Amino acid sequence: MHGFANPARFLRLARWLMPLLLVSGLLLSLGALLWGLFMVPPDRLMGQTVRILFLHVPSVWLGMAGWSTIAISSLVELVWRHPLASIAARAAAVPGATFTAIGLATGSIWGRPTWGTWWVWDGRLTSFLILLFLYFGYIALAGAAQKDAAAGGGGSRVTAIFGIVGAINIPIINRSVVWWNSLHQPPSITLGKSTIDGTFLWPLLIAALGFSLLFGGLVLARMRMLLADIQTEARLRRKAMA
């Protein structure tokens, strides 16, 4: 892993991997969404509403995966001082927040005809809303830490600690429908088994894979952008000191 700590080596890898992830993710995601929207039959209980599943579930998954990326990168930054770890964490924040917002919006649209209400303050929905607020807090902290670092401070350590502490919410989201009485359905896919019929499961899995590849491509693109900003800022400082 430390072999890619060199920004130049990482940029060479990201130059061809980023478009590969973006294109393959976009094709798989669009294919799965078209499959789910036009080829999958209505569900026996939920009717046409079931089609939101193919956007809602991957978005929720990537909302949680985005914060997991932040937490792991923050841990690597604090423990091993990996030079790209903080950049990876910052790069994952905006895509993770975006997917979290999409998950909340599609869940609300799904809930209106299914539950008869746009929103309920149950464990799953509330903990997932908290995740969105955590993203907003992390993005604000990361922006402040960047300015602090330019002034010679150490704000990135506080941001990394926040990223690790915020990960406490991930298992709460995951187990909320088991721990508390909820309108939200229990887990449909668990380790080694699924209660979802194959007609719906296969396009859902392809959508999850496609959106995951898309997420990875977006993170790499943002890492490249952040590295370019850092390198530009360093050159400007050198010129100012000359």
pLDDT digits (tens, 9 = 90+) for 60-105: 999 999 999 999 999 999 998 887 999 999 999 999 999 999 999 9
Specify the pLDDT at position 152. Answer: 47
Give 1 or 80, the one with higher predicted confidence.
80
Cα angle value 176/196/205 (rounded, 5°)? 90
pLDDT over 90 (residue 47): no
pLDDT over 90 (residue 3): no
By the 8 A CB rule, do 73 and 89 touch? yes
CA distance to 18, 38, 104, 148, 161, per residue, from 111 (Å): 35, 21, 10, 43, 35
CA distance to 101, 163, 229, 234, per residue, from 141 (Å): 19, 10, 18, 21
What does the alpha-carbon distance between residue 87 and residue 185 come to, in Å, rounded to a whole number? 36
Specify the pLDDT at position 85. Answer: 92
pLDDT (tens digit per residue) in 182-235 = 777 777 766 666 778 788 899 999 999 999 999 999 999 999 999 988 877 767
* Mean of pLDDT values over 103-125: 90
Q: DSSP of 62-74, one letter per residue?
A: HHHHHHHHHHHHH
* Mean of pLDDT values over 110-134: 91
CA distance to 24, 30, 60, 183, 234, per residue, from 214 (Å): 8, 11, 14, 31, 30
Radius of gyration of the chain (CA): 20
By the 8 A CB rule, do 141 and 158 touch? yes
Specify the pLDDT at position 192. Answer: 65
Nearest alpha-carbon partner for 184 in 242, 114, 98? 114
Amino acid at 176: S
pTM of this prediction exceeds 0.95: no
